[in-house]
Amino acid sequence: MKTYEKLFIDGRWETPAGNDSISVTDPFSETACGRVPAGTDADVERAVVSARRAFGVWSSAAPAERAAVIGRIADALAARQDEIGQTISRELGMPIKWSTRIQAALPATVMATFAEMAAQGPPEQTFDNVRVVKEPVGVCAFITPWNYPLHQIVGKVAPALAAGCTMVVKPSSEAPLNAYLLAEIMAESGLPPGVFNLVTGTGRVVGEALCRHPEVDLISFTGSTAAGRRIGELAARSVKRVTLELGGKSANVILDDADFQKAVTHGIKDIFLNSGQTCSALSRMLVPAHRQSEAVAIAQASAAKVKMGDPSDPANYMGPLISAKQRDKVRGFIQEGSAEGATLVCGGDAPPPGLQRGYFVAPTIFADVAPTMTIAREEIFGPVLCIIPYQDEDDAVRIANDTIYGLAGAVWSGDPERALRVARRLRTGQVMINGGGFHPRAPFGGYKQSGHGREFGTHGLEEFLETKALLME
């Protein structure tokens, strides 16, 4: 068991103001795998004061200097990739093969892209007697989730560093151990003291203290829509800038001229990755009504090949869910889907065979799902796929857009121009066309109640820059 007793504040490992701690549970063994401090308002105060003091130093550093430090952080993340992958696999439950490839490798890649952008310096514009310049926002507070823990931290930290901001990070209480590995890297990177601060703790204490603090200029939050509303309310009292990356109920629109074998199989891999605990997961598969039986057969056969079990076994594709609470929530949705009349194709609310221990939910597929059903409207955040039949292209677009969310989506068609045309009609921040995948420079964020603001690439960098007009004589 990995135990951390201190917080990282002002470039040093500091003793917390309180004595309470948070236990981290291994979702496979259901036993403790770590412990971190439960930070207090006093710890937040120290961290924010430290970040404010460091802002003058880091914001005035030359672009080349900032780029060099960020580059060293990226290199260190890459060098510790195996350790990071093992840590996240243990605290999250994602199988080691995918934890290393995704949870550990992506943060290093993202950090490296922002090292390149930092070297270029912020853009300027001139016209007539006007010069428009960009300046760092100031002190930022980052409240991050457990499903892609380090990736989401780095998605905020990297552009903030590149912009010249300073920060306080509050990682998820369910998966905070990886954040300590990042703090160790920061301590050795040459970053000025106070630029990066880590305060672990609960959202109710540490998160809310950060949102209320008058010296915090920007809040960036990734998590549930309900928590995002609360953060927005608190931040509004001092008119802080807020970026929110919230829930999703993404539609995978498979048009009648698509390669069904390829499209449906890809959709199965997407929804069951990370046990369905992905905000942009393609949880609604929209198929032509007259071809639903074909799609169901392919989906069922593909789901049967999904291996699940011990996260330390690289042969497994799925592990447990993060907690007993999340497992029970997902099982409740499955029960509701059956009660509302959807056809259970595979899976269900019973523990998977041979996996009585651990917070497991079997890969579950429902067919004949009506757009009005609870499982078609609520974010389940588990390995549950809804197959929804539609009548024609316009009906598919209507169903896809009939949601409070707008984070991501997908379109499949044998005609790339048709796929692009339909993709433009989807009210979402990102659309994958014929299997297009994640790109570290592509903006990520949502429409509607999926939040506002963008992460990654130049659009992610812009979130941490203020615009100033200089008017010359």
How far is CA 455 from its chain centroid? 10
Alpha helices by DSSP H, listed for 393-445, are 393-401, 416-425
Q: What are the Cα distances from residue 32, in Å, to 2, 24, 178, 234?
A: 9, 6, 15, 33
Catalytic residue among 14, 174, 245, 463: 245
Catalytic residue status for 245:
yes
Q: Which of 72, 107, 103, 58 is nearest to 85 (CA)?
A: 103
- The amino acid occupying position 332 is G
Rounded to 10 degrees, the C-alpha dihedral 137/63/61/183 comes to 70
- DSSP percent split of the chain into helix, strand, coil, nearest 5: 45, 20, 35
Place of tokens 């009210």: 427
d(CA 376, CA 349): 17
Choose, from 140, 279, 346, 386, the residue flagged as catalytic: 279
Amino acid at site 34: G
Structure token digits, residue 177:
């151990």
Tell me the C-alpha distance between 357 and 365, whole Å.
Answer: 22
Block residue for tokens 């198929």: 287
Q: DSSP for 347-401?
A: --SSPPTT--SSS----EEEES--TTSHHHHS---SSEEEEEEESSHHHHHHHHH
Q: Which 3 state secondary structure label does DSSP give 94?
A: coil
Considering just the CA atoms, what is the radius of gyration of the chain in Å? 23
Using CA atoms, how far apart are residues 366 and 385, in angstroms rounded to an integer?
A: 6
Catalytic residue positions, numbered: 245, 279
